[in-house]
Copies of this chain bind each other. A is one copy, B any other.
């Protein structure tokens, strides 16, 4: 069973995924997907960190960030770094799913694995105030900036998802289960685990 988790920034979706993977004793992938992409491509991880979960910006943008120093990371076939990372992660996510059970956070994993059986797609969100509080307490953003950061990152995630999937981020019908994490992170873990258990039964016995 593969469980993918899309999440609003500051909703606790990543932490829910981490706890769920720990509880089930299966691998957990979030930022690890960038490391793997860097390793596989031989490109610098820092370059990918800049474009992770962002819609394809132009080469000009990459140049302007200084990450192109020496022309070493020139994109192939006019692909942006964003595109390259998406394609690499696409393959990495498929490979992970082949290997066995896992929890995969973000990166359009639900879309990438859409043809595959045995996948439970989850989306986690929360009220804006809760997300702002988490941006401060968990990610250390200054309180005065937190609201802007939360909204900017979510906008970026939505652009990324919509750009690469042609669908709309956070629309219920794309996920088996979506949760307002205000119910509590461990409670979300329990509900996802329960949904996954239910899904393992043959359709006729549900």
Contacts and interface: CB of A to CB of B under 8 A. Distances in A.
Nearest to A174: B172
Copies in the complex: 2
Interface string A176-199: 111110111011001100110011
Given A177-B178, A199-B183, A206-B183, A125 B191 contact: no
A173 interface: yes
Contact of A191 (B173, B175, B186, B195): B195
Contacts of A177: 177-180, 191
Contacts of A190: 194
Contact of A194 (B176, B182, B194, B203): B194
Interface in A77-111: none
Contacts of A184: 198, 201, 206
Contact of A171 (B170, B191, B198): B170
A160 interface: no
Interface of A: 8, 123, 125, 168, 170-173, 175-180, 182-184, 186-187, 190-191, 194-195, 198-199, 201, 203, 206
Given A123-B172, A171-B170, A173-B170, A187 B198 contact: yes
Q: Which interface residue of A171, A172, A206 has the most chain B CB atoms within 10 A?
A: A172
Contacts of A175: 172, 178, 180
A123 B191 CA distance: 16
B176 A183 contact: yes
Given A8-B173, A172-B125, A191-B191, A203 B182 contact: yes
A190 B177 CA distance: 14
